[in-house]
Structure 1
Amino acid sequence: MSSPSDATQATDNRLSKGCKRFPDWERHEGNKLKCPRCHKLIAVNKGSYSGVAKHEDSCKKQHAEAKKTDNKLLRDFVKAGVSAETEALLIEFVINSGSPLNLVDDKHFRKFVTALNRNYKPPSRRALSNRILSRMDNHFQAVKAWLREARSVNLTMDVWSRSSRSSFLSLMGHTIIENQLKAVVLDFRKLSGRHTAEAISAVVKDVVLQCGLVGRVRAITSDAAAVNVKAVKLLA
């Protein structure tokens, strides 16, 4: 008749064989082995490792899938960051170079960008236009905050026509903040209808109101066109 110590020894022998079969598993609490991945305890009954083998297979697959998902999330995260930075630089390029918005729809341009960064897909002309408009809104709010520090502001304006049916007005603000001369674009607007002195003065007045500059505009500079001179006089 076998003693309890003999039974314990037999169990130890079986677990030792099991540990050789599953070397990453840690022996734990008598007849149990601990999974190296999820740390779950699996019992070894009567020398059978079927439960351990089943869990090993299942847990390996789950961890492989989880790792694949984590890697994908990391790649997507990095890709999103790179794309956001690339798009910001694209917008800066289009704005500062004066390039036409339909540049991004040109197949040769898109092919060029893809060659530089296969993870980045340039936006369409419409999407680019919307993003630039969104940046303009953000710019306007930043300008308002910046101008709060100015005691007085001088304006420069320029009116120009793209064609007989399209006229635009650019208005810049100039001031001194912390002993440094600052200049910023306050607004760039398309004029509706004929660009008369009344139309120009109405736009300038609206920009001054929106920027909170009422009572702080010291001078307005423009070219000597009669329509501009009259517009400034209307604002006096």
Structure 2
Amino acid sequence: MHQYLFPSQLQQRNSKKFTSTIALLDKRRFDAAAIEFIVDDGHALGIFRRSGMQKFLATIIPGYHGPSRKTVRKHLDKLYQHHRTSLRDSMKKIPFIALTIDLWLNSRRTHFLAIAAHYYDERMKHSSTVISFRRFHGRHLSYRLNSFIIKEIEKLNIQTKIVAVTTDSGSDIKGATSSNQLGTWYSCDTHNIN
């Protein structure tokens, strides 16, 4: 009967034969390592479904196909929630925070917004942490930027700890951050020089 199957059906059939040879614990361990690979190196969520990667996996671990996009997304959501909780808990101990906020446009004309917190920890060691990074859709009016920044700060419950904010001198980001809600506003010297 297999002579009547399409090549893709044969591949699926053959891959199912080997699936049982990989223990569930091994598959979970492999998936966790694969997801860590995707996060650490910034790969696409579906990298393990590409033909070259499938051939590579078939060579080194017959029967293992890598995590699906759905599995990766599910695990990324859990990792993100864990990271946000950990970040919120670590920020509880910090008395004063200065922010740097940058809004930029990439070559594909997509806007990105990054918010970084700078502080001294309980051992007086200077630390910087990215607290928000995302693509920003739509027109970038000061009000919308301010609303997003305030929501991110409220999610971490650090609104009373912010003493200063540094941005470039772009009209939208300057307008969004120059109110006293975010502490004293400073213009970025590096942006001013360039």
How does the TM-score come out when normalised to structure 2? Answer: 0.69
When the two structures are superposed, what TM-score results if normalisation uses the length of structure 1? 0.58
Once the 2 structures are TM-superposed, how far is the Cα of residue 231 of structure 1 from its aligned partner?
Answer: 1.3
- Judging changes above 3 Å, is the alpha-carbon distance between structure 1 residues 82 and 225 closer, same or farther for their aligned structure 2 residues? farther
Report which structure shows greater RCO (CA 8 Å, sep ≥6): 2
2:155 counterpart residue number = 210
SS at match of 2:57: helix
Distance 1:154 1:119 in 2: 50
- The residue number in structure 2 matching 1:197 is 142
Paired with 1:223 and 1:118, the residues of 2 have a C-alpha distance of: 52
Q: SS of 1:121's equivalent?
A: coil
Deviation by residue 1:160-195 (Cα, 9 ceiling, x = unmatched): 34544x433222222221222223221223334212
Match of 2:178, SS? helix
Deviation per CA, 1:38-88: give whole Å up to 9, x if none. Answer: xxxxxxxxxxxxxxxxxxxxxxxxxxxxxxxxxxxxx87xx3443333323
| Alpha-carbon distance in structure 1 between the residues aligned to 2:52 and 2:175 | 48
- 1:134 matched to 2:78: yes
Deviations 1:126-173 (A, max 9, x none): 332232122111111111011111111222222234544x43322222
Q: Secondary structure at the match of 2:76?
A: helix
SS in 2 for 1:101: coil
Paired positions, count? 159
Q: Is the 8 A contact 1:157 1:169 kept in 2?
A: yes
1:185 matched residue in structure 2:
130
- The question of 1:98 aligning with 2:42 is answered yes
Q: Larger C-alpha radius of gyration, 1 or 2?
A: 1
Asked if the contact 1:191–1:199 (Cα under 8 Å) also holds between the matched residues in 2, the reply is: no
Match of 1:173 in 2: 117
**Structure 1 unpaired stretches of 5+:** 1-74
Q: Distance in 1 between matches of 2:174 and 2:54?
A: 46
Please point out which of 152, 165, 181 is paired with 1:220: 165
CA separation of 1:81 and 1:158: change in aligned 2, threshold 3 A: farther
Q: Is the 8 A contact 2:87 2:156 kept in 1?
A: yes
State the AA in 1 paired with 2:156. Answer: C
CA pair 203-84 structure 1, distance change in 2 beyond 3 A = same
Q: How much does 1:207 deviate?
A: 0.8
Displacement of 1:119 in angstroms is 5.7
Shift of residue 200, structure 1, vs aligned partner: 1.4
Q: What are structure 2's unaligned runs of at least 5 residues? A: 1-20, 183-194
Which sits farther off after the overlay, 130-139 or 85-94?
85-94
Question: Partners in 1 of 2:63 and 2:125 — Cα distance?
Answer: 42
1:92/1:232 CA distance change after superposition, 3 Å: same
- What residue number does 2:18 align with? none
In structure 2, do the counterparts of structure 1 residues 224 and 113 end up closer, same or farther at CA, with 3 Å as the change threshold? Answer: farther
Residue 125 of structure 1 and its aligned partner are, at CA, apart by: 2.2
Distance 1:114 1:149, change over 3 A: farther
State whether residues 151 and 216 of structure 1, in contact with CA within 8 Å, keep that contact through their aligned partners in structure 2.
yes
Superposed CA offset, 1:13-49 (max 9, x none):
xxxxxxxxxxxxxxxxxxxxxxxxxxxxxxxxxxxxx
